[in-house]
Structure 1
Amino acid sequence: MDMGTVLCCCLLAVLSAFLSAAYKLGLLYQFFHKTDRKSPRQGGESVAEVLQAHGIKFVFTLVGGHISPILVACEKLGIRIVDTRHEATAVFAADAVARLSGTVGVAVVTAGPGLTNTVTAVKNAQMAESPLLLMGGAAATLLQGRGALQDIDQMSLFKPICKFCASVRNVREIVPTVRKALAIAQSDTPGPVFIEFPIDTLYPYHLVEKEFSPKSTPKGIMGNIVAWYLHNHLTNLFAGAWEVRDVSPLPVRVPTATDEEVQRCIELISRAQKPVIVLGSQATLPPTPVTAVRKALESLGIPCFLGGMSRGMLGKDSPLHVRQNRRDALKEADLVLLAGTVCDFRLSYGRVLSRRSKIIAVNRDKSQLLKNSDLFWKPTVAVQGDVGSFLLQLSKGLVGHRCPEEWVQSLKERDNAKEKANRLSLSFMGVVFIP
């Protein structure tokens, strides 16, 4: 290898190292995107704008200094701030809003102990498949891991229980990160997501600058290098911060059954003499309205056992709603449709299902769809897809088909007899029923 080639390789290596360092330090981005040092805006405003664009009406919190800019900005845009007495309560309340409204529930808490207090509530939202956005404060970007106030490794804490975790590193990342988190919370199987906001990404430039400014004039080469690094970090933190960005909702992914899967299920149901539907919480998830799901069930005419958030969907006087003797009905049925219902302890891990029955399982989550199928039960058809839209497709494909009336009547008679026996038993104990 001649000297020219060696020099060329060395120059390329140096150039590559320089470009890599320039990229990591944000120098390349700063060259094309300026920092507005006079702007009074703060990162909390960017968060609030995205939440408003997504139709968020409530934010639950226990106020803390790390996250105050988010709360102030949300209130200015008309988003109601609900202050609770414990961070877990804030997340439980956000979870409730998500389940009842079909939108993402939002909670904002302070760093460190504020976030650790939410773990049980976040895990509950994960288990309930509830779309929830948790936003938490954090130590400043340069002080993380250096013993700052309430500084802990928050990301490791939430990664096992959240679908998505992100730590914002500069102000320009706020809008795309919050949009992405909100979309992920609702996509596929809904669940909680977490965003960490270092305190210097939320406050205005002039306040953050005071924390970065050296207390005295830098001395020596090392002092000047440190001063330059701090100034560059601050500049990169706010570079391009207030450029116009799209805050509208990103597309939400909803898994759906294939035409082949739907057709096979239609054929199985059309031949069944004793079908039963066991409905779970996923039947209430968007985008299919609950009213449309109810009409689809009424059109199918198949007896239903309701669980989770689907309770009450058919109304107390529905001829299809069966409350009692579920175990016996499942053993007797020749077809069972598990519509968002999981074979966990509530179905004795699948042991209540008859091996002679045809079983159709529908669930957005593959792991829940096939839970314990390696032990006590096997699905005839397993559909990874949205329950509501699947039921609508079934009702359209089975127009004119009716479940045998004698089967429906048999289950209702047994149901009424058990209800009557329960009331009689409780009346002897002095329990008074109020209609």
Structure 2
Amino acid sequence: AIWEKIKIQIYFTKCFSFYTGTVGVAAVTAGPGLTNTVTAVKNAQMAESPLLLIGGAAATLLQGRGALQDIDQMSLFKPLCKFCASVRSVREIVPTVRRALAVAQSGTPGPVFIEFPIDTLYPYHVVEKEFSPKMFHVFKQTVQNWSLNMFIFILIIIMIFVINTLTNKKALESLGIPCFLGGMSRGMLGKNSPLHIRQNRRDALKEADLVLLAGTVCDFRLSYGRVLNRQSKIITVNRDKSQLLKNSDIFWKPTVAIQGDVGSFLLRISKGLEGHTFPQDWAENLKEGDKAKEKANRAKAEEKTERHLNPLSVLQRVDELMAEDSIIVADGGDFVGSAAYIMRPRGPLCWLDPGAFGTLGVGGGFALGAKLCHPDSEVWVVYGDGSLGYSVAEFDTFTRHKTPVIALVGNDACWSQISREQVPILGSNVACGLAFTEVHCHSEGAAEINSSGGRIHPQDN
């Protein structure tokens, strides 16, 4: 269950159609789940195998707005499939599936593809909250003459890494404005910066007078812009115009939008405001909230579990043990989500993750690249037990190229990030359950020598 099962699923389905004489059916997740099938679907096309590929998709009204794993899937599969369709209503499901099955078997057999946006599968009340805008009055105002001196509560949110990170770190420190760091910008301010706020971002955004979105896109990570206070002044900076103004036509409006390089902007604004001091009460209050939330997390980490390890406790202990030059590679779902708010990257570019596309399987390649570029640094890969299957064979690569890395696998025998939502909504854990596989044995088997693995039990606490 932990192997690269998406591509394998297509090959299995193709073989199934050979032996049964019927159409094989494969269902995969949206975005990276579908992109991982491309080679196998092309194989089915050239082998003239009847195959129905079913893929998820973002809610209809959120397509093109930065939803999680949202891409133009139809354009990707039209050259590969005899028939492609996107279901737009529940009543279309049965006739669309029937037509696809007929086309797959007619004439020269081949693959067909149907995508199902989640609003055609989930109960309406579940997806309604994702795209129902709150009514608000659009307030027009000229902004050319306002000054930063008017504002007390100022936030910077950064979600991209920038070139010349050390220089930009100094620029941020000279501004003295509290920052939230997301994505691969985590670690930009170091491990214990008083300006880096890790918790309670939503509450801080409600209080902020001015928010600077430095490379941050108002996509699903900021609830499409809905978390921004309508009364706040918002400056947004991005090289890409479409990302700069993402969803500004519906959920939010920038006060100033600057199309340009984030790093250059931060340097210039820090020089322009040189000598200007911002009240530190705001940053201190946010830091106190940070400490309170982390204290609550520590309390959760100390809670006893009946059978298995407490994942928060494991992550906290590993974070305490990590060397100061450590690089963290994140490859997983639920376990990595916990790691993102427990573990503290040591410096700029010391946190590597899949990015907004949510692509599982980056662990092995990212770790290899990080270790080759920083051979003296300690490289950790934080894996979920599902995502491990994509790159477990790379432990052989690590051994052959003498690039030692450390892998921490959260083995809960489940695709927990999906299961947490699926079970309450659909009442079933189907396709989410895995097994408590002895995954540490795979590293030893793949590398044969000079590689070792181990399993931590609750009694090892």
TM-score by length of 1: 0.39
TM-score by length of 2: 0.37
